[in-house]
């Protein structure tokens, strides 16, 4: 009896340990290219923020933030078919991170309109956190720095 229970426990545990090495999401080539374009825009926007904040250019910060909020490929550039496919294939955790990132960009825009430098920096920090969270979880094959050497000794 104990052996049977142990076996059943193992069955439950094994699939988990097999997926411990986080798999990156795989997207169709056309969607991947669009996403890469959006990511490059996001990167440029984020990089520009450092100096815009440092120089107190809040109207420009708000403009960049609004662009980041709106540059939502899932909403805009995709065809209907691509969008259906994406919604069906993307893990819900990925979609949640994406939505949170865009919501934070919206909050950043509001903080900038209020010239609230501290809150602006807070949301920039939160948005950087979102890049890290999503890349570490779903794009770790591209961004190898996120796989820790100790837990991935077979690499």
CA–CA distance, 69 with 85 (Å, rounded to integer): 22
Vertex 131 angle, CA 108 and 61, to 5°: 25
Q: Which is nearer to ligand HEC, 58 or 64 (CB)?
A: 64
61 binds ligand HEC (CB under 6 A): no
Vertex 62 angle, CA 56 and 67, to 5°: 140
86 binds ligand HEC (CB under 6 A): no
CA–CA distance, 139 with 128 (Å, rounded to integer): 15
For residue 26, the minimal CB distance to ligand HEC (Å) is 8
* Residues 21-50 contacting ligand HEC, CB under 6 A: 25, 27, 32, 35-36, 39-40, 42-43, 46
For residue 114, the minimal CB distance to ligand HEC (Å) is 22
DSSP H stretches of helix in 27-151? 29-54, 58-70, 80-89, 92-113, 117-138
Which residues in this chain contact ligand HEC in the complex, by CB under 6 A? 25, 27, 32, 35-36, 39-40, 42-43, 46, 94, 97-98, 101, 127, 130-131, 134-135, 138-139, 142
């Amino acid at each position: 009896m104990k052996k049977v229970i142990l076996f059943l426990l193992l069955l439950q545990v094994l699939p988990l340990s097999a997926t411990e090495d986080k798999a990156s999401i795989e997207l169709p080539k056309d969607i991947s290219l669009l996403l890469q374009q959006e990511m490059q825009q996001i990167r440029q926007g984020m990089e520009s923020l450092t100096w815009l904040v440092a120089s107190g250019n809040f109207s420009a910060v708000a403009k960049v933030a609004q662009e980041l909020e709106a540059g939502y490929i899932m909403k805009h550039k995709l065809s209907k078919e691509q969008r259906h496919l994406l919604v069906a294939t993307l893990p819900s955790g990925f979609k949640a991170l994406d939505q949170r990132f865009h919501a934070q960009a919206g909050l950043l825009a509001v903080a900038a309109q209020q010239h609230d430098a501290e809150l602006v920096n807070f949301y920039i920090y939160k948005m950087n956190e979102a890049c890290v969270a999503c890349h570490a979880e779903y794009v770790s094959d591209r961004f190898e720095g996120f796989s820790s050497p100790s837990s991935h000794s077979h690499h």
